[in-house]
Structure 1
């Protein structure tokens, strides 16, 4: 049942989030370009700027700010379209936006002043200015407000439509926000209980293993918080764009429920080489990590089934003839499709990272960064770009014209080429042992740098091409917002195929699925966490020399 229309108030709310996201893209992209140039050894940052300062800006503003604002803005539009938004809910949504924005500005200011060069993981004993941690806290609190706005929207709809199946996209949004809310409890706990008192000098020490464990309790589900909105577009938007229908509503819901169950209790696979965690519990979480591949494989099956049925419905009945029927010249399909294709090697790399044995080869090398750029910076970001080509015109009352479509196709190709050089060079350099996070200045003149340097130039070439892609995207965003022809653009929400199997109503049993998720988390973390607290050393003292650049 899709009867709601986006009001101007709804559009203004989502568009505010888009502005923050795209400004973040420009700033973060520039920082990424500078990093790749520095690593060639032939470029020096001006004005005394520190490499780790721009590395922190790049990670925080792209991996956290851009993604969070785009996702929440996109999800608000989905919820408004499918279940509606009341005036009271809209007020709280704006409160969420401003709390997040104030927190973002506070944290970013400390990074730019050189008082928080701690990377986006902010591992202790690196210490930042207290305002950085307060800023992070505000961002998290803002997202929690957004969570409860979305929860209330679906609750209100179900109360008014008792016994009915909830709209698929609204169901997906709520699943994603449940994952976010549960997982951010970990990072909120370490920031509020450990980092803020430590940075204020109230306590002299911090338990590093506890802080890292709480961070990675959040850090891996963060990946799925990024990925699931892309899946929302793949499942619920793309079928409409290609002239087809959703292959299976039930399969889509099952995939999202599996992400809820398996995405949170897996943080230990980021800590495989850390002492103080019993190997048995690492093994358990590695098994759960591999289980997350199941909903991704379900998604791949569902999407290609959708593509094939749509193509065959148009008369393309040969084995792969349906592939020709796909609208390759429509950027709304082309950009997400390139992202889907990139997810194949990205997923394979993820299996390497999650494996105890194979991870030993690539741990803490720039291979991991290359994997990150395939998953988030290619699969997710290209899908977000594909969403923006129709969403921004919808929000601004304009049309997706031929110029926008052409610019989008060019931008997607430029992005794919840039990421081929960037991520490919990172993966190869990582296999040769090149470390992640490093400017390599400490290795100058060594044999290692001689071996890595060619791939560093490859990263610089890729980074330069990607920045061109960012400039094209920013121009297109401005054009879509202010200069594209005025008109009514379609909000493309797909319908389920008539012959699809009925969706089991057990998928609507929120108490059941949230309960199972909590049980899995308790099983995976309770005993090892008690063991960590009882047996790990208290931590490391605060060192002034580790605070920012001081």
Structure 2
């Protein structure tokens, strides 16, 4: 592992922290909206001041699923590139700030329209729900801003490669670039849907919209979005956690290969979110389901690599027996404990994902609150706990402070609170989903049916879990504010692991971007070209929005 600098440059750190501040503000606001949602669904709470349930649902989904994740990830990626590939140039840093302000202005526009009741269109903004044009324009600014930042990252990475011809690129920088390539390719779908369909429609330039195409474009983006959330967490698992616990990276080549496979198999799979929709040939759905299951391979590779690292560390500390190494792990270090709990919870989360993507089993849980429970295990637990673990060392590293023993203990408590709260809420969502409880619905829509009565205990459990989780949000905000402004001054390491001496040499084919991007483009064209032509040629009468603009 090659480290160009020992500390993130202060100006680069300010850019990263600007993103992280917005992310945690979004966590508070989105989390509060989520708390109110669970209270409403319990049937014991009525929203005041004419606030609509679907306003809250939209705020919760957009702020946590898009704003929190995107801002935190881009901030983390800039810091990682500055650490491992050298200080950002003035031009790259400027592109980062331009991207940040585009995203921030766009977020403000979308949030304002939602809070004014002009965009209660949920996180997926499915047609025929229509939002105010400012909502779609704001989304466009967020996407374009992220592209500007991404191109700056590519430029910085390319500069390192030119300065180090023939050398294996720093692993953390390689992973950052893969993550942004995935994001840029995926967001082409949502950008096309917003600019070509939704924005002209909401402005009254066209009368109708092709719903199937809009949903297909959304899910072309919506599924790889999950891996945009996950890959930065995997960056921390592969590269940071070994250093935190005092171990070494099991295999540099295995880590790179897993990221390449995630890039290839996470994008051309959106149809598995549309298995119940007419208008898409079942053969193409089946192809994308197969590609979806291919993602299991790099997931298992990651699990193998991580637990191999843990076992090697435990053995080096004298552990014996099959699981003796487990006791040797640093359970009192929040930088390890929070991400590790995320790893464990990803096991049932992944199993739920297999069910969601299966032709037959999907029929049981489709459009039920089971799916919401699955998202809360993946992004709201696995990803967020890892992000919290990153924040516990990244923020003090940038601000020149230290994580004190008191804050470390509070972070351990926060992790436990989060896991307990999510155990209540996500478990209840899964069981209610198996009983047929719909997703996206408020208590008032259930009626007095006997079936709805079965769901009430689970709605109450969700409210209990949501309340515990909001306590967890308050705790992590206390820690973040302390680390940013009040913790004692000092030096905190940016932990970047070294590769084990016994690891195989990294093959340079993994550094051949033309090959992997070319394969990605080919897979996308195979998976989507013919289905899209079929959708356009066989669009229902009056579907003007997309087709009239072709």
TM-score tier (shorter):
over 0.9
- 1:395 deviation in Å? 1.2
**Map of 1:37-116 to 2, 5 A cutoff?**
37-84=39-86, 85-116=88-119
Q: Tell me if structure 2 keeps the 8 A contact 1:17–1:97.
A: yes
1:498 aligns with 2:501: yes
CA distance in 2, matches of 1:449, 1:40: 12
- 1:317 deviation in Å? 2.8
- 1:120 deviation in Å? 1.0
**Map of 1:14-413 to 2, 5 A cutoff?**
14-84=16-86, 85-413=88-416
**Residue number in structure 1 paired with 2:548:** none
CA distance in 2, matches of 1:221, 1:436: 21
Which runs of 5 or more residues in structure 1 are unaligned? 543-550
| Deviation digits for residues 94-130 of structure 1 (CA, Å, limit 9, x no counterpart) | 1110010000000110000000000010000000000
**Residue number in structure 1 paired with 2:492:** 489
**Residue number in structure 2 paired with 1:547:** none
**Residue number in structure 2 paired with 1:2:** 3
CA distance in 2, matches of 1:440, 1:206: 31
Q: Tell me if structure 2 keeps the 8 A contact 1:389–1:404.
A: no
Structure 2 counterpart SS, 1:164: coil
Task: Say which is worse superposed, 530-539 or 297-306, in terms of deviation.
Answer: 530-539
| Deviation digits for residues 33-71 of structure 1 (CA, Å, limit 9, x no counterpart) | 000000011210000000000000000000000000000
Task: Say which is worse superposed, 438-447 or 465-474, in terms of deviation.
Answer: 438-447
> 2:522 pairs with 510, 519, 523, which one?
519
| Deviation digits for residues 65-106 of structure 1 (CA, Å, limit 9, x no counterpart) | 000000000000000001121111111111110010000000
**Residue number in structure 2 paired with 1:508:** 511
List structure 1 segments (4+ residues) > 3 angstroms apart after TM superposition: 538-542
TM-score by length of 2: 0.98
| Deviation digits for residues 414-442 of structure 1 (CA, Å, limit 9, x no counterpart) | 00000000000000000000000000312
1:432 aligns with 2:435: yes
Question: For residues 240 and 538 of structure 1, do their structure 2 counterparts lie closer, same or farther at Cα, with a shift above 3 Å needed?
Answer: farther
Task: Say which is worse superposed, 533-542 or 195-204, in terms of deviation.
Answer: 533-542
- 1:448 deviation in Å? 1.8
| Deviation digits for residues 256-304 of structure 1 (CA, Å, limit 9, x no counterpart) | 0000110000000000000000000000000000001110000000000
CA distance in 1, matches of 2:544, 2:468: 43
- 1:380 deviation in Å? 0.2
**Residue number in structure 2 paired with 1:545:** none
Q: Tell me if structure 1 keeps the 8 A contact 2:206–2:544.
A: no
CA distance in 1, matches of 2:518, 2:136: 31
Q: CA RMSD in A?
A: 1.0
CA distance in 2, matches of 1:246, 1:512: 26
- 1:404 deviation in Å? 1.3
| Deviation digits for residues 18-46 of structure 1 (CA, Å, limit 9, x no counterpart) | 11000100000000000000001121000
Q: Tell me if structure 1 keeps the 8 A contact 2:368–2:439.
A: yes
Q: Tell me if structure 2 keeps the 8 A contact 1:172–1:232.
A: yes
- 1:444 deviation in Å? 2.4
CA distance in 1, matches of 2:475, 2:49: 28
- 1:540 deviation in Å? 6.6
Q: Tell me if structure 2 keeps the 8 A contact 1:440–1:449.
A: no
- 1:3 deviation in Å? 2.2
Question: For residues 143 and 193 of structure 1, do their structure 2 counterparts lie closer, same or farther at Cα, with a shift above 3 Å needed?
Answer: same
- 1:146 deviation in Å? 1.1
Count of residue correspondences: 542
| Deviation digits for residues 359-416 of structure 1 (CA, Å, limit 9, x no counterpart) | 0000000000000000000000000000000011011110011011011000000000
CA distance in 2, matches of 1:290, 1:237: 28
Question: For residues 39 and 167 of structure 1, do their structure 2 counterparts lie closer, same or farther at Cα, with a shift above 3 Å needed?
Answer: same
CA distance in 1, matches of 2:319, 2:356: 40
| Deviation digits for residues 142-165 of structure 1 (CA, Å, limit 9, x no counterpart) | 000111111111100000000000
Which runs of 5 or more residues in structure 2 are unaligned? 546-550
CA distance in 1, matches of 2:454, 2:246: 50
